[in-house]
Amino acid sequence: MPTFVEKVLARAAGLAEVAPGQIVDVEPDLYMSHSASWRCIRALERLGTDRLYDPSRIAMVMDHISPARTAKTADDQRLCREFAARHGIAKFWDVDAGIAHLVLMEEGLVRPGMVIIGTDSHSTIYGALGAFGTGVGFSEVTATWVTGKLWMKVPGSLRVDIEGRMSPGVTAKDLMLWLIGQLTADGATYLSVEFHGSYPASLTVSERMTMCNLAMELGAKNAYVPPDDVTRAYLAERGVPPGAYEEVFPDPEAQYVRTVAVEVSQLEPQVACPHTVDNVRPIGEVAGTRVDQVFIGSCANAKYDDLVEAARILKGRRVAPGVRLLVTPASRQVVAQIVRDGTYAALLEAGALITNPGCGACAGDGGAMADGEVTFSTANRNFQGRMGSYRSEIYLGSPATAAATAVRGAITDPREFL
Amino acid sequence: MMEERVGGRCVRFGDSVNTDVIIPGRYLVSIDPVELAEHAFEPLGPEVQAKVRSAPVIVAGANFGCGSAREQAATCLIGAGVRAVVARSFARVFFRNCINTGLLAVECPAAVEAAQDGDEVWVDHREGLVEVAGRSFRFAPYPESLRRILESGGLIPYLKQVLATQAR
């Protein structure tokens, strides 16, 4: 009996059924390329063709280095702009839009049952809306532009059943860091990760995004939360009626490589320590570690509710002297929302440096550290040298923990402020 | 494009070597293998970099290439003269990027177990054979569809051939 991924890839491959390990040619519904788009275009030039299979399936978002910092990047971005205009690529967003994943979801382009490839490993995030999303190289996106097809190995599936209610100050981010610590950075390599149970069902789409995004750090090929009324309402708000998509659910008798049961009511805030995402400790073990910078950003945790959560702690308080607090909203829509409801002002008055939307410091675009410095970040990676000096350190945690840490200048349990 | 048997002296790495260590994000402005190679493994320092440049084979533990989808993590190794990566296991996007850029990547835990830093390691991808200092270890050869991509030198050259055949 098929899992989610077996059903969705069988459909995209035009087959009645597929089995784990099988290599199939699938026809993705959407091809996302971000700042790597210029590389895709260069690869197309090498290929010597200008004929695209279906320009309406191509989506480009200029997110990693936005706006351009150098003439080279400006040139690369112009190449993309001109290419999009020449080929009538309507799904093109420029340097003002924000992080590709968020933009596509906010625009209602990601729908249940879709198969989506992206030039970004965190394309697993599309599972938050019941879609299959996976990261591929830029040459693969180029090949798909031309042929409309891409080879995929059908993965086995890991089922995570999550029950319980978390205490205030503990979030989906903490759960995912904890899970990554337990299962390790290759705990789900080549696997499709399905999140089931009353906990994911209780979450907003934004929190589900955080979960599916972080599943990448388990090595997952894709992630999935079953679509429900929360999903349908999110899509309806974006003008996408239920008739515009086909929800896909795993069979109740589906075969999983592994099943993990998690109970979250006792979970504490978690922190991933340098330099791997699976080096995870409960907050109590790292509280008091001094930081030079706090970064609230990335496709993992810079959505509207993430910034609201951070602002709840920062409102009426000040960032500790000598600490830099960078806030990079995930998208232009998020900026508009926080400006409207006063969150922007609260963050600014607390001493935050609020940048334009995009990937920002998570992609090394600003926010670099000097030798020996420490950043507490809400992003999804803490690899050595990712933010400046190879001799700097990154700790990862939730927006609430980041806000509490910014106030104290040292890693702090957010529950102390609630 | 690709010889059946490639190899030479190996450089050995541990588990979960990530893409930011293989090629830091700041260098992704380039797609030139030789330019990229200058910065391959830069976070680990010049000694490791020099070793990689003089070793045609990388032997690594589990989850090699974890992290980003950046294709340059594979191309920078090609630029550095690496002909094959033998690992206990690969992160999936890195594995795809190897095949799609024409870099031999094989999972062979027993060979990894046997290999010491500096050993001679040879890989025959058609036979599914890794030789480590004279000892042989088997791995499952690539499926036909992947082998064609690899032997064409990667996905773009492969597709170019396919398109040329279709045009005829």
Over the stretch A82-131, which tens digit does the pLDDT of each residue have?
999 999 999 999 999 999 999 999 999 999 999 999 999 999 999 999 99
Pairs of residues, one from chain A and one from chain B, whose beta carbons lie less than 8 Å apart: 114
Q: Do A23 and B145 touch (CB under 8 A)?
A: yes
**pLDDT (mean) for A155-159:** 98
Report the distance separating Cα A279 and Cα A256, nearest Å: 26
Please tell me the pTM assigned to this model. 0.97
Minimal Cα–Cα distance from B8 to chain A, Å? 28
Residue A276 in contact with partner chain B when CB distance is under 8 A: yes
Is pLDDT at B1 greater than 70 in this prediction?
Answer: no
Nearest CA in chain A to B161: A47
pLDDT of residue B4: 79
A271-417 homologous superfamily: Aconitase, domain 3 (3.30.499.10)
How many helices (H) and strands (E) are present in chain A, helices listed first? 14, 18
Q: Are B5 and B124 in contact (CB under 8 A)?
A: yes
pLDDT of residue B3: 77
Residue type, A324: R
Q: Do B66 and A386 touch (CB under 8 A)?
A: no
Nearest CA in chain B to A44: B156
Q: Are A229 and A259 in contact (CB under 8 A)?
A: no
Nearest CA in chain B to A365: B26
Q: Do A386 and B156 touch (CB under 8 A)?
A: no
**pLDDT (mean) for A41-63:** 96
Nearest CA in chain B to A138: B71
Q: Do B63 and A186 touch (CB under 8 A)?
A: yes
Residue B163 in contact with partner chain A when CB distance is under 8 A: yes
Query: Among B21, B35, B96, B97, which would you mutate to test the A interface (most chain A Cβ atoms within 10 Å of its Cβ)?
Result: B96
Of residues A320, A389, A312, the one with CA closest to residue A346? A312
Domain chopping of chain A, boundaries = 4-262, 271-417
- A 85-104 residues with CB < 8 A to B: none
Please give the ipTM for the structure prediction. 0.95
Residue B143 in contact with partner chain A when CB distance is under 8 A: yes
Q: Give CA A285 to chain center in angstroms.
A: 27
pLDDT tens digit string along A215-260?
999 999 999 999 999 999 999 999 999 999 999 999 999 999 999 9
Residue type, A278: D
Residue A142 in contact with partner chain B when CB distance is under 8 A: yes
Q: Are B69 and A121 in contact (CB under 8 A)?
A: yes
Residue B156 in contact with partner chain A when CB distance is under 8 A: yes
Domains and CATH numbers, chain B: 5-167 (3.20.19.10)
The side-by-side arrangement of strands in the sheet containing B129-132 is B104-107, B84-87, B57-60, B5-12, B120-124, B129-132, B135-138
Task: Write the CATH number of the domain with boundaries A4-262.
Answer: 3.30.499.10
DSSP letter for each residue of A91-127: EEE-TTSB-HHHHHHHTT---TT-EEEESSGGGGGGG
Minimal Cα–Cα distance from B134 to chain A, Å? 31
Provide, rounded to the nearest whole percent, the portion of chain A with pLDDT above 70: 100
Minimal Cα–Cα distance from B110 to chain A, Å? 19
